């Protein structure tokens, strides 16, 4: 790889960033997690029968948040009236197979595999899939411009809900 | 036999035994008396837009192949090879000129007719003369305004008669599009660890919104410009045959066509255009009803068409007394603009589905009910009396649920459950 092509952000930096993100989610520190996002960020969870790159503008997703709605999602989940997560479930995000797809002009594209375990009321559910990130390098470090969670599942059975952050 | 329902007109109380949600014998009775005889929603004609398109759906523990043949005719076939019974089609959807069972290679047309089979010379010359080697068609298959239904009982009444008064509301849904409605790509497929009848109740329950969905209303208030200044109010109507509807005004945005400030000036122009077109097509009174009022329509036993902040179709089937599978789709006018489609789907997700701001709390409520039923031996009855003493039923009364339960009980009693 020539010097001009060398990314300024290494895979290990992205991996460290994603591990820190996973910690914040597992510890339900959602307002801090929200600070990882840019002001024009998006968070997507497509339904499981659409193409991996399908658009939420003409396909029914599970979640398609702009930054405003993502902020509202966090605000909701911090309330005890978010009944689906009160009392809160126990979460564990396992993030693996982190790869840099591209890094150019300050935008880094990365992907990773995930398994999220959710435990509540004696039931353990698993969510499996791949993350696709668009990250930007800012003075404060990496920021998420887009987080897309493509589920490798045949629908949400038996899980039934995505009532936390994947 | 112990009663499952207790209706006392003099004290205006209506109670349902919690046994109805947990007893495997009741589920068996439901399958034999309700699901084997009722009209069940199969799919929307728009899902099979082109000749040769097909979809496979699980309906009441059957695998059904829903096809459009080469002449454009729709079919509902059992997805089971006439030869040895393997599932002929193993894809969920697609386009095919024929279906070949991979086991021994029998080939069927999209109309279910056996086209050929390897070793044809070893069969009698008039093999399949009676059609018994074709894919078995579902006994009854009829559509209303692009909504297609099946029924396993060949003696069932015509679909049109079964739908009865619900057709008025299906027409209101259908009239939202000039060139027809379509199912938007993407299915929300999920499950709830609760009895299926709890979702019937919940889908037509105007009473729970303020408490269960407090965080949804917080969110709508926080949007730019907030809520539309209309109160949540309206009516509940028993439509006969176990069907029911809520019709009401609500303060959220509707893609057809109640504008909210969050949608900006571009959205205002777009919604004005949609509204004026409705007025031109139907006159002001009907246009206002289509555009400004919401409807939660329930078609017995398990079809919900909610015309609320978006248009959704939902079906659900029991797999066990305490477990159901749910499928939900988004409907939209074929001709709507990119702006409308985008904002319609965004509006859908703010409330509806497993990642919405509301449905997960419904799922939680239903699962908490199911957990509460473990005490049914000592705490044995659900109360569904709200509004029973009133002449006119508000959208947040419970007459629509009593309509469902009354019809349900008529069916289940014929099985003589002990």
Residue A100 scores a pLDDT above 90? yes
Quote the tokens at residue B261: 């400030």
B313 Rama class: left (phi>0) / alpha (psi -120 to 50) / beta: beta
Residue A5 scores a pLDDT above 80? no
User: How many residues in total does chain A contain?
Assistant: 166
Q: Which residues contact A25 (CB under 8 A, 6 or more apart)?
A: A33, A91, A93, A164, A165
Largest CA distance in chain B: 75
CB contact under 8 A, A84 and B360: yes
Residue B1 scores a pLDDT above 70? no
Query: Mean pLDDT across the stretch B81-103?
Result: 97
Q: Tell me the C-alpha distance between A165 and A114, whole Å.
A: 12
Residues paired with B332 in a beta bridge: B182
> How high does pLDDT run on average in chain B?
95
Quote the tokens at residue B166: 């619900």
In chain A the domains, ranked by start, together with CATH numbers, are 3-52+59-151 (3.10.450.50)
Query: Mean pLDDT across the stretch B317-330?
Result: 98
Residues of A in contact with B355 (CB under 8 A): 45, 61-63, 161-162
Look at residue A49 in the predicted model and tell me its pLDDT.
95
Q: Tell me the C-alpha distance between B414 and B328, whole Å.
A: 31
Residues of B in contact with A63 (CB under 8 A): 349, 355
Closest residue of B to A63, CA-based? B355
Look at residue A1 in the predicted model and tell me its pLDDT.
42
Residue A41 scores a pLDDT above 50? yes
Residue A7 scores a pLDDT above 60? no
Residue B224 scores a pLDDT above 90? no
Query: Mean pLDDT across the stretch B249-274?
Result: 92
pLDDT in tens, B98-146: 999 999 999 999 999 999 999 999 999 999 999 999 999 999 999 999 9
Give the rounded percent of residues in chain B with a pLDDT score beyond 90: 89
Residues of B in contact with A162 (CB under 8 A): 354-355, 360
> In which band, very low, low, confident or very high, does the pLDDT at A133 lie, cut at 50, 70 and 90?
very high
CB contact under 8 A, A60 and B188: yes
Q: Which residues contact B82 (CB under 8 A, 6 or more apart)?
A: B106, B114, B132, B133, B134, B135, B136
Find where tokens 């930096």 sit.
A13
In terms of Cβ atoms closer than 10 Å to its own Cβ (0-12, 13-18, 19+), residue B256 is buried
CB contact under 8 A, B354 and A162: yes
Select from B185, B357, B371 the Cβ nearest to the Cβ of A58: B185
Select from A45, A48, A84 the Cβ nearest to the Cβ of B364: A84
- What is the DSSP secondary-structure string of B133-162? TSPPBPSEEEEETTEEEEES-TTSPPHHHH
Look at residue A8 in the predicted model and tell me its pLDDT.
78
CB contact under 8 A, A49 and B329: no
Look at residue A2 in the predicted model and tell me its pLDDT.
42
Query: Mean pLDDT across the stretch B320-347?
Result: 96
Residues of B in contact with A82 (CB under 8 A): 215, 361
Select from A62, A75, A121 the Cβ nearest to the Cβ of B355: A62
CB contact under 8 A, B345 and A162: no
Query: Mean pLDDT across the stretch B290-318?
Result: 96
Look at residue B418 in the predicted model and tell me its pLDDT.
64
CB contact under 8 A, B325 and A157: yes
Residues paired with B44 in a beta bridge: B147
The ipTM, to two decimals, is 0.94
Quote the tokens at residue A117: 């375990």
pLDDT in tens, A51-63: 999 999 999 999 9
Residues of A in contact with B363 (CB under 8 A): 84, 160-161, 163
Q: Say whether the peptide bond before residue B301 is cis (omega within 30 degrees of 0).
A: yes
In terms of Cβ atoms closer than 10 Å to its own Cβ (0-12, 13-18, 19+), residue B85 is exposed
Query: Mean pLDDT across the stretch B392-416?
Result: 92
Residues of B in contact with A159 (CB under 8 A): 190-191, 354
Q: What is the number of CB-based contacts under 8 A between chain A and chain B? A: 132
Q: Tell me the C-alpha distance between A79 and A90, whole Å.
A: 16
Query: Mean pLDDT across the stretch A7-32?
Result: 94
E-strand ranges in B374-418 read: 381-383
Residue B176 scores a pLDDT above 50? yes
CB contact under 8 A, A57 and B365: no
Select from B93, B188, B214 the Cβ nearest to the Cβ of A47: B188
């Amino acid at each position: 790889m020539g010097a001009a092509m060398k990314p300024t952000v290494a895979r290990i930096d992205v991996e460290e960033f994603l591990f820190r993100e996973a910690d914040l989610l597992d510890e339900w520190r959602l307002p801090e997690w929200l600070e990882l996002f840019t002001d024009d960020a998006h968070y997507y969870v497509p339904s499981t029968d659409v193409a991996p790159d399908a658009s939420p503008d003409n396909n029914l997703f599970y979640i398609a948040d702009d930054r405003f709605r993502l902020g509202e999602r966090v605000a909701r989940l911090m309330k005890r009236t978010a009944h689906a997560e009160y009392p809160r479930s126990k979460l564990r995000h396992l993030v693996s197979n982190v790869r840099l797809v591209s890094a150019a002009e300050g935008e880094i594209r990365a992907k990773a595999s995930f398994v999220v375990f959710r435990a509540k009321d004696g039931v353990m559910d698993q969510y499996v899939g791949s993350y696709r990130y668009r990250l930007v390098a800012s003075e404060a470090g990496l920021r998420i411009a887009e987080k897309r969670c493509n589920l490798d599942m045949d629908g949400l059975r038996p899980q039934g809900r995505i009532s936390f952050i994947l | 036999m112990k009663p499952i329902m207790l209706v006392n007109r003099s004290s205006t109380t209506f109670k349902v035994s919690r046994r109805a949600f947990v007893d495997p014998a009741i589920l068996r009775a439901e399958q034999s008396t309700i699901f084997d005889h009722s009209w069940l929603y199969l799919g929307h004609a728009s899902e099979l837009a082109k000749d040769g398109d097909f979809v496979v759906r699980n309906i009441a523990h059957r695998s059904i192949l829903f096809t459009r043949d080469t002449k454009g005719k729709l079919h509902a076939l059992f997805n089971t090879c006439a030869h040895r019974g393997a599932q002929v089609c193993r894809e969920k959807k697609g386009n095919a000129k024929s279906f070949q069972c991979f086991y021994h290679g029998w080939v069927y047309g999209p109309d279910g007719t056996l086209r050929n089979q390897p070793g044809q010379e070893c069969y009698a010359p008039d093999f399949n003369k009676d059609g018994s080697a074709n894919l078995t068609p579902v006994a009854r298959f009829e559509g209303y305004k692009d909504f297609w239904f099946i029924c396993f009982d060949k003696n069932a009444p015509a679909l049109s008669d079964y739908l009865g008064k619900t057709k008025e509301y299906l027409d209101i849904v259908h009239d939202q599009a000039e060139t027809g409605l379509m199912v938007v790509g993407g299915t929300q497929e999920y499950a709830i660890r609760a009895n299926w009848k709890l979702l019937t109740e919940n889908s037509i329950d105007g009473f729970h919104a303020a408490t269960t969905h407090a965080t949804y209303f917080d969110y709508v208030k926080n949007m730019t410009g907030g809520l539309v200044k209309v109160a949540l109010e309206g009516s509940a109507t028993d439509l006969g045959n176990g069907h029911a509807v809520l019709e009401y005004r609500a303060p959220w945005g509707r893609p057809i066509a109640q504008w909210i400030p969050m949608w900006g000036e571009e959205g205002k122009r777009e919604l004005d255009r949609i509204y004026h077109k409705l007025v031109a097509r139907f006159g002001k009174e009907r246009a206002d009803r289509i555009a400004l009022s919401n409807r939660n329509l329930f078609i017995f036993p398990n079809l919900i068409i909610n015309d609320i902040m978006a248009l959704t179709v939902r079906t659900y089937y029991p797999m066990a007394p305490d477990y159901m599978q749910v499928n939900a789709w988004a409907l939209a006018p074929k001709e709507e603009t990119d702006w409308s489609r985008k904002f319609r789907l965004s509006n859908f997700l703010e409330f509806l589905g497993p990642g919405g701001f509301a449905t997960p709390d419904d799922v939680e409520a239903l699962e908490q009910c199911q957990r509460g039923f473990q005490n049914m031996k000592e705490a044995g009855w659900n109360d569904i009396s709200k509004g029973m003493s009133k002449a006119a039923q508000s959208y947040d009364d419970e007459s629509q649920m009593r309509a469902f339960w009354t019809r349900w009980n008529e069916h289940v009693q014929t099985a003589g459950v002990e």
